[in-house]
Amino acid sequence: MAVPKKRTGHSAQGHRRSNWKATKPETTKCPNCGETVLTHTVCTACGTYKGKPVSIKDRVEETAVKEEKKPAKKSTKKAEKAEETKVEEVKAEAVVEEAKEEAPVEETSETEEK
């Protein structure tokens, strides 16, 4: 088994690795939907390649998924508590309004006396 006689210096190691560069993948715009797509691949958004539909199965599944209605959300405890507090606030406002109607109006009597 080969064993190096001496360690490789930092400079020599750096020179050797100088061409190890990350390359940015080439992308293009899909001519059908305008989505950014890797070159030479089928568009994941619409299932076309070079403007022609390639994956009919995928398109059918996507449209079926979009057309399905979402199930109604289950009410949570927080939502129930929020509804209860709203009901209590409305009741409190009604009580305040009733109290205002029942209270004698002293301002009008004072102005009449003067």
Q: In this predicted structure, what is the pLDDT of residue 68?
A: 64
Buried b (16+ CB within 10 A) or exposed e, 99-110: eeeeeeeeeeee
Q: What's the number of domains the chain is made of? A: 2
Residue 82 shares a structural domain with residue 63: no
CA atoms within 13 A on the CB side of 91: 6
- Is residue 8 in some structural domain? no
Of 32 and 56, the structure prediction assigns the larger pLDDT to 32
- Is residue 12 in some structural domain? no
> Would you say the pTM of this structure is higher than 0.85?
no
- Is residue 49 in some structural domain? yes
CA distance 74 to 84: 17
- Is residue 18 in some structural domain? no
- Is residue 34 in some structural domain? yes
What's the rounded mean pLDDT across residues 58-77?
60
Strand partners, 114: none
Range of the domain at 93: 77-113
Residue 55 shares a structural domain with residue 85: no
- Is residue 40 in some structural domain? yes
- Is residue 17 in some structural domain? no
What's the rounded mean pLDDT across residues 65-87?
67
User: Are 89 and 82 spatial neighbours (Cβ–Cβ below 8 Å)?
Assistant: no
**Burial category of 32 from C-beta neighbours within 10 Å (exposed 0-12, middle 13-18, buried 19 and up):** middle
**Burial category of 23 from C-beta neighbours within 10 Å (exposed 0-12, middle 13-18, buried 19 and up):** exposed
**Burial category of 90 from C-beta neighbours within 10 Å (exposed 0-12, middle 13-18, buried 19 and up):** exposed
Residue 61 shares a structural domain with residue 87: no
User: Which of 4-18, 33-47, 50-64, 100-114 has the lowest average pLDDT?
Assistant: 100-114
